[in-house]
Amino acid sequence: MSKQKTDMIVIDGVDGAGKGVQSRLLHQSFQDAGLTCILTREPGGSPAAEEIRELLVCGEPEKWDSLTELLLMYAARRAHLRDTIWPALERGSWVISDRFADSSRAFQGIAGELGLEVVEQVHRITVGDFRPGLVLILDLDEEVALARAAARGEGEDRFEKKGAEYQRKVRQAFRQIAESDPEQYRLIDASGDVETVRDRILAAVNQRFGLELKPR
Asked if residue 112 has pLDDT above 80, the reply is yes
Q: Are 186 and 5 a contacting pair, CB within 8 Å?
A: no
The pTM is what? 0.94
Residue 61 β-bridge partners: none
Quick one: CA torsion of 40, 183, 26, 23, rounded to 10 degrees?
Answer: 40
Question: Does residue 1 fall inside a structural domain?
Answer: no
Q: How many Cα atoms sit within 13 Å of 2 on the Cβ side? A: 7
Residue 37 β-bridge partners: 94
Q: Are 146 and 167 a contacting pair, CB within 8 Å?
A: yes
Predicted confidence at residue 2, as pLDDT, reads 41
**Helices 66-80, 116-126: crossing angle, 10 deg rounding:** 30
Q: What is the CATH number of the domain that holds 72?
A: 3.40.50.300
Q: For 167-206, what is each residue's pLDDT tens digit?
A: 999 999 999 999 999 999 999 999 989 999 999 999 999 9
Asked if residue 108 has pLDDT above 80, the reply is yes
Q: For 51-103, what is each residue's pLDDT tens digit?
A: 999 999 999 999 999 999 999 999 999 999 999 999 999 999 999 999 999 99
- In total, how many domains does the chain have? 1
Q: For 64-76, what is each residue's pLDDT tens digit?
A: 999 999 999 999 9
* Residue-number span of the structural domain to which 141 is assigned: 8-208
